[in-house]
Amino acid sequence: MIEFGRKVPGCRSLLMFQGSVARRIAFMTLFPASELIVLECNIDDMNPEFGPYVIEQLLCAGAKDAWLTPIIMKGGRAAALLSVLCEQEQKEHLAAVIFAETTTLGVRVVKTERLELKRSFETVETSLGSIPVKIGKDTAGRVYNAAPEFAACRTLAMQHKKPLKEVFLEALAAWKLRR
């Protein structure tokens, strides 16, 4: 068996665990879990230009997330898989939005569990202005992700006629300097 916290050979970030139940529980509490629902349906006969509108309607109706994935159905037909992440209480309301806004005749309901990082925001000052940075931490405070907010970077890039990637990188560098 592999010891708790030891890196798995050939894998950069995957950890395997052995040890007491207490240590396993301690690890699991680093990433709180929530039970969610994924609504999904295959759509092969709808104008693909409607997709962004459908996603916008689902998000406005309370979905945690929504996305389209290109797929190939039987007979080689091109289609899209519409997926919607939501709370259990929202599934019927969001299914109604899917039926109203798409051409699907059925919606699959899949129970799922999501491990989550705690999210917070820190604002950094750059040469172009203030930019919020979204931070993802475990419950022990370890930072796993830091990402400048796209909309703020986009606005400043357009205002100052700078490449978006430069604004993004400057904001990330400013955040790293604060640590």
CATH number at residue 142: 3.10.20.300
Tell me what pLDDT residue 17 has: 44
On whether both 40 and 89 belong to a single domain, the answer is yes
Q: DSSP state, 153?
A: H
Amino acid at 73: M
On whether both 41 and 93 belong to a single domain, the answer is yes
Tell me what pLDDT residue 8 has: 44
On whether both 14 and 42 belong to a single domain, the answer is no
On whether both 109 and 38 belong to a single domain, the answer is yes
Give the C-alpha separation, 128 to 162, whole Å: 10
On whether both 87 and 142 belong to a single domain, the answer is no
On whether both 122 and 171 belong to a single domain, the answer is yes
pLDDT digits (tens, 9 = 90+) for 94-123: 999 999 999 999 999 999 999 999 999 999
- Asked whether the beta carbons of 149 and 131 are under 8 A apart, the reply is yes
Tell me what pLDDT residue 28 has: 60
Number of independent structural domains in the chain: 3
pLDDT exceeds 60 at position 10 = no
Burial annotation 104-129 (CB, 10 A radius, 16+ → b, else e): beebeeeeeeeeebeeeeeebebebe
On whether both 108 and 122 belong to a single domain, the answer is no
The domain in which residue 10 lies consists of: 1-30
Model pTM score:
0.73
Mean pLDDT for the stretch of residues 41-47: 95
On whether both 111 and 37 belong to a single domain, the answer is yes
Strands (E), the chain: 6-7, 15-16, 33-43, 65-72, 78-86, 108-115, 118-126, 129-137, 143-148
